[in-house]
Amino acid sequence: MEGHSLVLPHRFGRYTLFDFIGRGGMAEIYLARVKTDSGASRLAVIKLILLEYAGNKTFADQLAFEAKLAARLDHPNVVQVFDLGREADRLYIAMDYIEGIDLATLLRQCSARGIALPANFATTFVVEVLKGLDHAHRRSDDDGKPLGIVHRDVSPSNVLVSLEGEVKLCDFGIAHANQVVTAHALGDALVGKAGYMSPEHARGESVDARADVFAAGVILWELLSGKRMYRKSETTSLIERAKTGDVPPFDAAHLPDFERIRGIVGKALAANRDDRYATSALLQKDLESWGRASRMMGSQLRLGEWLTETFGTEYIEKRRERARRIRELEDDSRMATLAQLAEEDRASRRTVPDVPSGPLLEIIESLSLPQSQVETMPLALPARVKAPAPTDGNPMVILLAAAVVTLFALGILAFFAR
């Protein structure tokens, strides 16, 4: 896949980027491996903010603030953010890797293969997204004060589904950081998301949780209808259509208990936020009730099986193979580093020049003397002492010698007698 600025694999701080996932309006997205404090490794997704955004201090500060809020979210339907920082002048966000596919890509694959997304799975997707939204909207700080988290970018590209059928919402708060940058700088990043904006959001007004409810309603409308809700024309852009909140008729009459689901969709997409579901939990309750009564709720297990059966795991297997090769490279690099350190350690211990081993040196080594003493020990044996010249047998000399020996013996006996 083209469009990224780095040559892979690329070492980025404590991360090794090895696969390019895609590019959004404000970031390049990579799959990476990272070493944990315990020495183990894990996969992570790195959102590498484009330089033109990272250099904007207001944007960077807002992004940091939003990412810290997102890091407080801990829910099965929310992708966990665990790191935010700057490396080599590039701002980045690190989050958990979900082995699967995003909903936008899934829909494109369905369209390319002429496969319809089963309606029961469409209901499951939106119900699970609403669970994650409800958790975020109700999240409070340590003092119990609501954090006021609003996603602002609930769209298919931010809805992930794993091969096990887990549905997770990602990128909380990043859209809010985008708003501090001018519309000119945002360009297609803003236009591409306009189809899921609530009217008040598109008009630039303040937003609350009901803006996310509207966006979830758009996804529900599209998944059940099998087509885009807003379409730009020669005279009207997506952003202009979003500002009016003029929702096309929901004509999925093939659905069971159609009038009931049409009422649910209509309330979620009310142009006036006061007429909308006040919370995502209320929309989730009505949608789940309809889904169960109409047998239009798919299980997580079955969703995962359908993904695998329909699309296979070829691209996942390729990604796993790339990850395996990177792991091997890292292991080889670590072993090479250890070997280099060992060699440097051995070199630092070589304080004595290599010399032929002699008898005295062997004795010193057997005593395990400190290395500094080995250096100062003479390696030459002392000169032999000459023996006294033999005597001529003079009696006086003999008597004198005998006296000396006797005195020496008496001295030894006296010493041991003490």
254-313 pLDDT tens trace = 999 999 999 999 999 999 999 999 999 999 999 999 999 999 999 999 999 999 888 876
Pairing of strands 10-12, 81-87: unpaired
Mean pLDDT, residues 153-163? 93
pLDDT at residue 213 greater than cutoff 60: yes
Confidence (pTM):
0.73
pLDDT at residue 96 greater than cutoff 90: yes
Task: Kindly report which listed range (85-94, 261-270, 278-287, 366-375) carries the lowest average pLDDT score.
Answer: 366-375
User: Looking at residue 147, what is its pLDDT?
Assistant: 87
Is residue 69 within 8 Å of 147, Cβ to Cβ?
A: yes
pLDDT at residue 352 greater than cutoff 80: no
Type of residue at 71: A
The whole-angstrom separation of Cα 46 and Cα 310 is 28
Edge-to-edge strands, sheet with 90-96:
10-12, 15-23, 27-35, 41-49, 90-96, 81-87
Task: Kindly report which listed range (64-78, 90-104, 285-299, 358-372) carries the lowest average pLDDT score.
Answer: 358-372
Predicted confidence band of residue 2 (pLDDT cuts 50, 70, 90):
low
Is residue 265 within 8 Å of 224, Cβ to Cβ?
A: yes
User: Looking at residue 333, what is its pLDDT?
Assistant: 58
User: Looking at residue 365, what is its pLDDT?
Assistant: 38
User: Looking at residue 135, what is its pLDDT?
Assistant: 96
**Alpha carbon 414 to chain centroid distance?**
86
- Percentage of residues in the chain having pLDDT higher than 70: 71
Is residue 84 within 8 Å of 64, Cβ to Cβ?
A: yes
Catalytic residue among 19, 102, 134, 153: 153
Choose between 317 and 177: higher pLDDT: 317
Q: What element of type H or E holds 134?
A: helix 119-138
pLDDT at residue 144 greater than cutoff 60: yes
Pairing of strands 167-169, 159-162: antiparallel
Is residue 81 within 8 Å of 93, Cβ to Cβ?
A: yes
User: 251, exposed or middle or buried, with CB in 10 Å at 0-12, 13-18, 19+?
Assistant: exposed
> For residue 74, how many C-alpha atoms fall within 13 Å in the half-sphere facing its CB?
4
DSSP classification of residue 368: T
313-351 pLDDT tens trace = 666 677 677 667 777 766 665 545 445 544 544 554 443
- Percentage of residues in the chain having pLDDT higher than 90: 42
Mean pLDDT, residues 380-405? 51
The whole-angstrom separation of Cα 299 and Cα 305 is 10
Average pLDDT taken over every residue of the chain = 78
Choose between 23 and 349: higher pLDDT: 23
Mean pLDDT, residues 158-175? 88
pLDDT at residue 216 greater than cutoff 90: yes
Residues near 107 by beta carbon (within 8 Å), at least 6 away in sequence: 117, 156
- Active-site residue 153, yes or no? yes
Choose between 310 and 409: higher pLDDT: 310
CATH class label, 99-328:
mainly alpha
The whole-angstrom separation of Cα 60 and Cα 349 is 50
Cβ-based neighbour number of residue 265 at 10 Å: 20
The dihedrals phi and psi of 415, each to the nearest 5 degrees, come to -65, -45
Handedness of CA 85, 316, 170, 229 (dihedral sign): positive
Mean pLDDT, residues 166-172? 92
